[in-house]
Amino acid sequence: MREGERDAWRTLMGCAVERCSFGELALLYLVPRAATVVAKEDSVVWVIDRKNFKDILMKVSDEKIQEYVKYLSRVEILNSLLAAEKLQVAKALMEKHFSKNDVIITQGDPGTTFYILFEGDVAVSIDGDEKARLQASEERGTAQYFGERALLRNEPRAATVRVVSKDAKALALDKEAFDLLLGPLEDIMARKELPGGGGTKAVAPPAGGLHGGRDPSRPKILMSDLQKVGLLGAGGFGAVELWEHKATHETYAMKCISKGFIVKTGMQDSVITEKNILFMTNSDFIIRLYETYNSKQSIYFLMEPALGGELYSMYQRKGFYGSEKHAKFYTAGVLCAFDHLHERHIIYRDLKPENLLLNEKGHLKVTDMGLAKFVIGKTYTTCGTPDYFAPEVIASTGHTHAVDWKGISAVKFPPQLSPQCVDIIKAICQKEPADRLPMLTGGSKNIKSHAWYKGFNWDKFQDFTLEAPFLPKVKSKKDLANFSVHPDELPRFIEYVDDGSGWDKDFATC
């Protein structure tokens, strides 16, 4: 706002004066206005709409991608790539930041990652003797590359590369990501030698398949073998209920989503993706999916129950705000879940206390993969909970799994913090994605070894022998006491009329 004064009225929310801004969520996505703003006097307001805002930011992003393509064009072993393939690889490059004396690669280690140095100086050593120095400058547009043979085969590194400038920046791509994106480089190089060789390849699913299904060694659980126990939760999509197996008396969480709601909100692809993502995971820190079902009006996810309740509700009821002991334990669970997801090129994108559940032993489990996505490189979708958006999501410049680490700030940290706690939060929540603690050399181990976690037994934590700081009261496998929901909270029924598109035909596992 340039000049003048405006009120958000009826229930007065506040007064916007010169240099204030409002309506910023409209730049991210279509959402109903939360308040009415009325001019109290003649005013001049500067306005930008969503399309122009996104176009400006995407132009900046596109220019950076084209610069990456130029870097790739200088790499001899990538000469076999077509222009479209180089563009795909450029979009998949991950920016890494290093400090002086950081070792980027070590002689003798398995070679799995290719690097393009675009800022800073590094020394190349063999058997302890410095053999060369590589210098790069982002300002001058000069770049150096090393480790390119890692894209061909996993062979030991021939040299050690260490940062000798104050800091350095590099682009990185590992062999697994390259193979998923385009297929083995050896095949691409061979293709160039063949008459008529050419064409591009779509992103391939990971080993086992992006659409890899349920564990075939486990007996199927038919929906007819189950009976409803009660209600665990409700949302705009439908209900989450507790169901019991009639013969074994094991209990499960059943997420029921109205097909009418799915079609009305255009979520057909999203629910299929959620199913596929869940079947790609196999971690004790993530809610497991056992089966999926399909009926005339709804689809269903049969999942592992976590009867200790939501972390958010538990904090509200028990007042654990201020306890570093609790924050430490629960963020450790999130870290282990993210390690598992990121190894599989999955970005979670919706970390918040409401999506963290506790089992009967007080251990944390991440749930709700509705916004999770399999990604090689960056994705550009604006999604998540606005209160927890990372800067790069707002900027629409593309985001990687670094957004998940920024999201750890959504987990309940105490209001009065120890110096070590302040330090780890600042280190994780850096504005630049590549500067966040788990994105630096060492990855998530940087969090585990941080001073805030001094004395924390990670081995016991990961094998679930470390006692939880809070033990929920769960009397039986059918105890609903830790969930507070009323049937009146269920959404209005939306009838589904099959349009013949067949979007749901392969959804059910049995």
Question: Catalytic site residues?
Answer: 350
Which structure tokens are listed for 9?
A: 């009225």
Q: Which helix (H) or strand (E) holds 229?
A: strand 226-235
Which of 344, 342, 352 is CA-nearest to residue 438?
342
CA distance 406 to 286: 19
Q: Which residues pair with 399 in a beta bridge?
A: 379
Handedness of CA 32, 34, 38, 39 (dihedral sign): negative
CA distance 492 to 499: 21
Which structure tokens are listed for 317?
A: 């009821």
CA distance 262 to 268: 6
CA distance 206 to 344: 8
Query: What is the β-pairing status of strands 373-374 and 346-347?
Result: antiparallel
Structural contact between residues 13 and 33, judged by C-beta atoms closer than 8 angstroms: no
Which of 298, 302, 300 is CA-nearest to residue 260?
298
Q: Which residues pair with 244 in a beta bridge?
A: 227, 251
Taking the CB of residue 364, how many other CB atoms lie within 10 A of it? 23
Amino acid residing at 316? Q
CA distance 274 to 279: 9
DSSP state of 3: B
CA distance 365 to 62: 38
| CA count, 13 A, side-chain hemisphere, 169 | 15
| Phi, psi torsion values for 200, nearest 5 degrees | -110, 165
Which structure tokens are listed for 238?
A: 């439908």
CA distance 346 to 192: 32
Phi-psi region of 443 (alpha: psi -120 to 50; beta: other; left: phi over 0): left
Which of 313, 356, 319, 367 is CA-nearest to residue 484?
313
| Phi, psi torsion values for 167, nearest 5 degrees | -150, 170
Q: Which helix (H) or strand (E) holds 16?
A: strand 14-16
Which structure tokens are listed for 335?
A: 């870290």
Structural contact between residues 302 and 215, judged by C-beta atoms closer than 8 angstroms: no
Structural contact between residues 108 and 201, judged by C-beta atoms closer than 8 angstroms: no
CA distance 117 to 143: 6
CA distance 66 to 79: 16
